Amino acid sequence: MQSQNKKLRNAVITAVGMYAPEKVMDNKYFESIVDTNDEWIVSRTGIKERRKMENGATSDMAALACEDLFRTTNVKPEEIDVIIVATVTPDMFFPATACLVQDKIGAKNAWGFDLSAACSGFLFALQTGASLIEGGSYKKVLVVGSDKMSAITDYTDRNTCILFGDAASAVLLEPTTDLNYGIKDSMLFVDGAGKDALNMKAGGSALPSTEETIKNKLHYIYQDGKAVFKVAVKGMADISYEIMERNGLKSEDVSYLVPHQANLRIISATAQRMGVSEDKVMINIDKYGNTTAATIPLCLTEYYRAGKVKKGDNLILAAFGAGYTWGSIYLTWGFD
């Protein structure tokens, strides 16, 4: 929670960038590998296709998203102070993916770290980056959401394989003393009691990799879809409504809801609770599926580049994910 009246500066997004791999996996493709069909996938999830990174890792996608961002700003990689990479699919346990990205983009004066909060990762990273800027010590923070979900997806499990895709997206945070713009409020939560409903069980210190863990497919995403669906609907809808309420925002004051893209039905329920009409909801789940930490900045980048986001627009970002983790951020867009 932030105490707004004591702030000397806000962190504001000043540039955006994205990378989506070229290879498209449409619903027809999944009909050919598991017992499913296009109608089921579209009606239950809203997904029509997703992308797959065939050659390269999470850090490669992240670096490409950052390079895309740098093409649109005068800021140079060597001016970056901090790189935060939100991901659940790091290239390896260590070093952190942020280190690999730092090297790939030539951000030679930056430090950085990875942040693991699954589908809420971008929101947690954005608030962390904002706090570093608000504290006054850092002026340029790159916040990246990058996930190569195909690396941990079991393509024989129809319950999960149709949901996820690969992508990366990045935003640049800088300080502004005009408190009308930038990140104004955040409400972020975890509840570790949700750990059994959505996880990847093996490969960590609890269950190191063995022949047995591989045989039992414990290095893939496990999800109890129904259980997660129930808490995700409530979690995302409630938090988005609460952040509006505590900032005195009416539905007509909200320019866009920017929801994590896990399921169109969860997104619709959130918009309904906020009283926000469909045309004010950023959606690209049909094209990319659930790209975990990348969904929200991917939406921001695409809508901004389509000329749909303007300086002064009030955005409510909202996410729910494994952990459980969930939250919402209220910001006012700071550039045209």
Contact 228, 198 (CB under 8 A): yes
* Shorter beta-carbon distance to ligand COA: residue 160 or 301: 160
Assign 223 to helix, strand or coil: strand
Compute the half-sphere exposure of residue 287: CA atoms within 13 Å on the CB side of its CA: 11
Among 11, 232, 309, 331, binds ligand COA (CB under 6 A): 232
Q: Which of residues 92-131 bind ligand COA (CB under 6 A)?
A: 119
Q: How far is CA 216 from CA 150, 200, 205, 209, in A?
A: 18, 12, 17, 11
Contact 167, 51 (CB under 8 A): yes
Q: How many helices (H) and strands (E) does the chain have?
A: 11, 13
d(CA 238, CA 218): 33
d(CA 10, CA 332): 10
* Shorter beta-carbon distance to ligand COA: residue 90 or 165: 165
In angstroms, the first-to-last Cα distance of the chain is 28
d(CA 98, CA 100): 5
Q: Is 119 a catalytic residue?
A: yes
Among 84, 143, 257, 262, binds ligand COA (CB under 6 A): 262
d(CA 245, CA 251): 10
- Position 36 contacts ligand COA (CB under 6 A): yes
- Contact track, ligand COA, 42-61, x by CB under 6 A: --xx----------------
Closest residue (Cβ) to ligand COA?
A: 225
* Shorter beta-carbon distance to ligand COA: residue 10 or 160: 160
- Position 188 contacts ligand COA (CB under 6 A): no
Stretch in the footprint of ligand COA (CB under 6 A) among 212-220, 261-269, 280-288, 303-311: 261-269
- Contacts with ligand COA by CB under 6 A: the residue count is 20
In one letter, which amino acid is 28?
K
Among 20, 82, 162, 274, binds ligand COA (CB under 6 A): 162
Return all residues near 236 (Cβ < 8 A) that are at least 6 apart. 259, 260, 266, 269, 270, 318, 319, 320, 326, 328
* Shorter beta-carbon distance to ligand COA: residue 215 or 226: 226
- Position 159 contacts ligand COA (CB under 6 A): yes
- Position 263 contacts ligand COA (CB under 6 A): yes
Q: Is 290 a catalytic residue?
A: yes
* Shorter beta-carbon distance to ligand COA: residue 45 or 97: 45
Stretch in the footprint of ligand COA (CB under 6 A) among 19-27, 35-43, 170-178, 249-257: 35-43
Q: Is 260 a catalytic residue?
A: yes
d(CA 247, CA 297): 23
Among 19, 122, 220, 229, binds ligand COA (CB under 6 A): 229
Query: Where do contacts with ligand COA occur on this chain (CB under 6 A)?
Result: 36, 40-41, 44-45, 119, 158-159, 162, 225-226, 228-229, 232, 262-263, 266, 290, 320-321
Active site residues: 119, 260, 290
